[in-house]
A and B are shown apart, each in its own frame.
Chain A
Amino acid sequence: MNEKLNKDNLKDKTPILKLKGIKKHFGGVKALDGVDLEIFDSEIIALLGDNGAGKSTLIKIITGFYTPDEGEIFIDGEKVGNLDPKLAREYGIETIYQDLALFNVLDISANLFAGREIRKGHFLLSQKKMDALAQEALDKTGITLGSTLRQQVGELSGGQKHAIAICRAVYVSGSPKVILMDEPTAGLGVKESNKLLEIIKGLKKAGKSVILITHTLDHAFEVADRFIVLRSGLKVGERDVSKTSSTELIEMMVGSF
């Protein structure tokens, strides 16, 4: 495996996220067959691969939704066993899932604060505080929704739903360290996609890292620093953005080298 990577300046830094030998199978299907990964701060990784390569599974393992059958996860150099979604969030790992993981029958505020509602003490909700912060976060996301916070999310358009998911992961979460995005531009129009790419670049500037799954190589080339290519549950290559091309990446994804 030819790793054309400029790792010199990263050699002594501790990766914010490190995966070693991750394996995951579902019944008889091997989704991931031993994947290693390192993410450092202020970088944008594009996770590429054909359908079924294991990209979503890998994301779900990083986010705690799945538990790996084998392998280790290190966050900021510390080994983390039994990662679950709640713990992952506490570590600063935020996710925008492919299906957005929203609650269609609930309102915008409830969706934004889902799972980490602001409370008075341990049991009581602080609805006013949440609404105020929700409005702030929505403003930061830069989208006008033209509806109240009590609007049901299911009634919003696709682009608006994406905006809510992004807002939740990026702005409501406090200070996320790594943000995972599973096909965030799928189903978005040109304007909205561009806005998202701007947000991603802004995250990098703020010192955060992004792992991006996308099938649109143009988008990947626009924002990514590094590409990681999966095929059939294995990592078949890593490339620096400046040292590769679409052709090479596609060949790695499809397996003709």
Chain B
Amino acid sequence: MKNTINKNIFIRFNPFSSKSISPTLVIVYFLMAAFFAIKNPIFISLKNYQTIATNAPIIGIVALGLGMVLLTGNVDLSVGSTAGLVAVISALILRNTDFPIMVVLLIAILIGLVIGTINGLIVNYIGVNSIITTLGMWAALKGAAMIISGGTIYFSNKGFQLISKGFAFGIIPNVLIYFIIIIILMYLTLRYTKFGRNIYLVGANSISARAVGINVKRTKFLVFLLSSSFAAFAGILLVSQFAGAAYNYGTGWEFKALTICIVGGISLNGGRGTYVGLFLSLLIIGSLSNGLTMINMPIYWRDFFEGSILLLAIIIDSFRVKNFKEDT
């Protein structure tokens, strides 16, 4: 069997190759940006970047948590409903009580942890498939959000709105800063800590991981906590951005976050992908929605468009894994 390191440029930039997807993503972004910029020059204005940077990081934070679950070989489809439920509950608390912002934030994260614990226990200690478990949770939380909210809940708390609407240094949206802090933390965790290494080992081959003494169940459990609490945080950011919550907040987020992860090179099979790719992917997907608005694509076309991209990403992902020749 040949054993050479392929420096061939077509392998490096080939989206079907099993090597890093980042160079490809950079090219895709520039092509896309060029396309939108030509059709509507407002696309590359500072104001527009600020718009993107106010919306994209919120779904980006959800993707950061989801990515950890994907890396271990599971999936978490409940993130959208988690964000939605937390949004509704937070808005309710803010409307009806005087709790300080920090307390509400804490409650939100706590709710996320509880949801993550339930998901994690069912998937890893009872043994139910993660798709089914988190799908059930998706439905349950959605229903709960509907029951609790029954419509739109408004509140007004300037301080709270500043968490999500404020601009550091006057230009950079706060949410972008939160996102950058979290992505750097996750990147460092994955690359430089034992926990991060365990995540990759478990995702790459959970049986081998067990054979070398890793606590597979615990690793797979813990990432569910991350996923749900990040989704909860995103829910609070959403509330603070819109000064209110409706029952349908977070709808479709699981698919968007999944798209961001898969386009970013995080394989559905687990064990592969870096957060560098995820960052670039967010750049692309985040700008995509904005760009489609800029070129006036009708709303009902966008779902179709974004869904197709997810499908395409999944297909390319499966090619990248198959491209891997196994000899034994």
- Residue A119, interface by CB 8 Å: yes
- Residue A255, interface by CB 8 Å: no
Instruction: A124 to B197: give the CA distance in the assembly, Å.
Output: 10
Further pairs besides A97-B211, A125-B193: 5, Cβ < 8 Å: A101-B212, A103-B200, A103-B205, A119-B194, A124-B192
Of B50-58, B170-178, B233-241, B320-328, which stretch is located at the interface?
Answer: B320-328
| A114, B201: Cβ atoms closer than 8 Å | yes
A-B contact pairs, 11 of them (CB 8 A): A85-B213, A86-B213, A101-B205, A103-B209, A105-B267, A115-B201, A123-B193, A146-B3, A151-B5, A155-B324, A161-B328
| A101, B213: Cβ atoms closer than 8 Å | no
Q: Which residue of B lies closest to A85 (CB)?
A: B213
- Residue B152, interface by CB 8 Å: no
CB distance from B238 to the nearest CB of A (A): 32
- Residue B104, interface by CB 8 Å: no
- Residue B214, interface by CB 8 Å: yes
- Residue A57, interface by CB 8 Å: no
A105 contacts across to B, CB distance below 8 A = 18, 204, 267, 271-272, 324
Q: Which residue of B lies closest to A115 (CB)?
A: B212
Question: Interface residues of A: mostly helix, strand, loop or mixed?
Answer: loop
Instruction: A115 to B200: give the CA distance in the assembly, Å.
Output: 11
- Residue B208, interface by CB 8 Å: yes
Q: Which residue of B lies closest to A87 (CB)?
A: B213
Interface size class of B (residues with CB under 8 A): 20 to 34
Q: Which of B204, B207, B213 is A115 in contact with, Cβ under 8 Å?
A: B213
Instruction: A63 to B18: give the CA distance in the assembly, Å.
Output: 33
| B195, A123: Cβ atoms closer than 8 Å | yes
Instruction: A104 to B271: give the CA distance in the assembly, Å.
Output: 10
- Given the known interface contacts A156-B3, A157-B327, the answer about A114 and B212 at a Cβ–Cβ threshold of 8 Å is yes
Instruction: A21 to B144: give the CA distance in the assembly, Å.
Output: 55
- Residue A106, interface by CB 8 Å: yes
- Given the known interface contacts A105-B271, A115-B212, A156-B3, the answer about A110 and B193 at a Cβ–Cβ threshold of 8 Å is no
- Residue B1, interface by CB 8 Å: yes
Q: Which of B269-328 contact A (CB under 8 A)?
A: 271-272, 324-328
| A84, B205: Cβ atoms closer than 8 Å | no
Instruction: A99 to B214: give the CA distance in the assembly, Å.
Output: 18
- Residue A67, interface by CB 8 Å: no
- Residue A9, interface by CB 8 Å: no
| A157, B1: Cβ atoms closer than 8 Å | yes
| B326, A104: Cβ atoms closer than 8 Å | yes
Q: Which residue of B lies closest to A63 (CB)?
A: B211
| A65, B3: Cβ atoms closer than 8 Å | no
- Given the known interface contacts A147-B5, A154-B324, the answer about A85 and B204 at a Cβ–Cβ threshold of 8 Å is no
- Residue A89, interface by CB 8 Å: yes
| A147, B211: Cβ atoms closer than 8 Å | no
Instruction: A202 to B18: give the CA distance in the assembly, Å.
Output: 38
A86-128 interface code vs B (CB 8 A; 1 in, 0 out): 1111000001010111111110001000111101001111010
